[in-house]
């Protein structure tokens, strides 16, 4: 049974900062939760409209914005936007050829037994092989598409919410929810993840009733603790790199722990 999503507005943090820019592209550090472009016919604030407002003068003079990479609503961090069709084609080809380097930081539950590992478990939409009430939910399955993510533990610490770890995530492929699915598969779901965390009931409760004290007790954070922190890409035979610091909500968790270990 599919659960319909309410028509009521979903929580939104309309904030972004410019991380790097040229005459042909701009990289912005997106807040969360915030969608990158309009979806499902709903009228709500989104990142693309915000960037269009920022670049209104350039748009008046012929700029045509195009998103090169996309982040989930609840994922914060770096998004690359082309300013014209030629740049969109060039950057799009770089994405297709896997020449764009992306790194994320995630706060996960538990202390991984590994310092670094690579997950190559294939992923597909769960509803294609098993029952799920969440259309977008993905799952590890032998019939899934090729999928590869490198994980590296940056720090582990104790908190009142239990042991947590900061993990650097480097996806070598670009499947939907890839990092979230792989971390859950490894036994360390991302803190605050409504779909791949304690139970998918968290997601269903949230889209029907919004954030609640009960959800806070289960998830701790009102969004999943995943941040796109580094983005490298080629353009006009040069390599460019942008970085974005951890957002405040993730930084607070990092600073609030007890005993801490660096890379183990």
Do 28 and 17 form a contact (C-beta atoms < 8 A)?
A: yes
Contact by Cβ (8 Å): 91, 70: no
Count the residues in the chain: 264
d(C-alpha 9, C-alpha 38), whole Å: 12
Residue 193: closest CA among 234, 252, 136: 136
Furthest C-alpha separation in the chain? 55
ω into 22 cis (within 30 of 0): no
Query: Reduced to 3 states, what is the DSSP secondary structure of residue 76?
Result: strand
**Cα 127 to Cα 137: distance, rounded to the nearest angstrom:** 8
Q: Which of 7, 29, 72, 261 is catalytic?
A: 72
Nearest CA to 26 among 60, 66, 61? 66
User: Residue 34: CA atoms inside 13 Å, Cβ hemisphere, count?
Assistant: 22
Any idea of the CA torsion for 21, 26, 30, 34, to the nearest 10 degrees? Answer: 160
193 is catalytic: no
State the catalytic residues. 72
């Amino acid at each position: 049974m599919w659960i319909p999503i309410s028509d009521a507005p979903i929580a939104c943090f309309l904030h972004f900062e410019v991380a790097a820019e040229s005459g042909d592209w701009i990289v912005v550090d997106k807040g969360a939760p915030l969608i990158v472009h309009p979806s499902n016919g709903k009228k709500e604030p989104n990142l693309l409209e915000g960037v269009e407002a920022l670049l209104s003068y350039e748009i008046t003079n012929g700029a045509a914005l195009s998103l090169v990479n996309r982040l989930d609503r609840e994922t914060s961090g770096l998004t690359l936007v082309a300013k014209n069709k030629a740049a969109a084609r060039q950057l799009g080809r770089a994405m297709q050829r896997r020449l764009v380097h992306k790194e994320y930081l995630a706060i996960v539950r538990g202390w991984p037994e590994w310092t670094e590992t690579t997950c190559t478990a294939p992923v597909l939409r769960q509803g294609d092989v098993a029952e799920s009430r969440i259309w977008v939910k993905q799952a590890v399955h032998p019939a899934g598409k090729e999928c590869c993510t490198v994980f590296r533990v940056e720090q582990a610490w104790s908190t009142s919410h239990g042991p947590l770890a900061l993990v650097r995530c480097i996806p070598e492929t670009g499947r939907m929810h890839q990092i979230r699915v792989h971390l859950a598969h490894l036994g360390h779901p991302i803190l605050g993840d409504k779909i791949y965390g304690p139970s998918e009931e968290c997601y269903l409760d949230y889209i029907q009733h919004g954030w609640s004290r009960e959800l806070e007790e289960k998830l701790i954070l009102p969004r999943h603790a995943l941040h796109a922190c580094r983005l490298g890409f080629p353009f006009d035979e040069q390599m460019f790199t942008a970085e974005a610091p951890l957002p405040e909500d993730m930084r607070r968790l990092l600073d609030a722990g007890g005993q801490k270990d660096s890379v183990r």
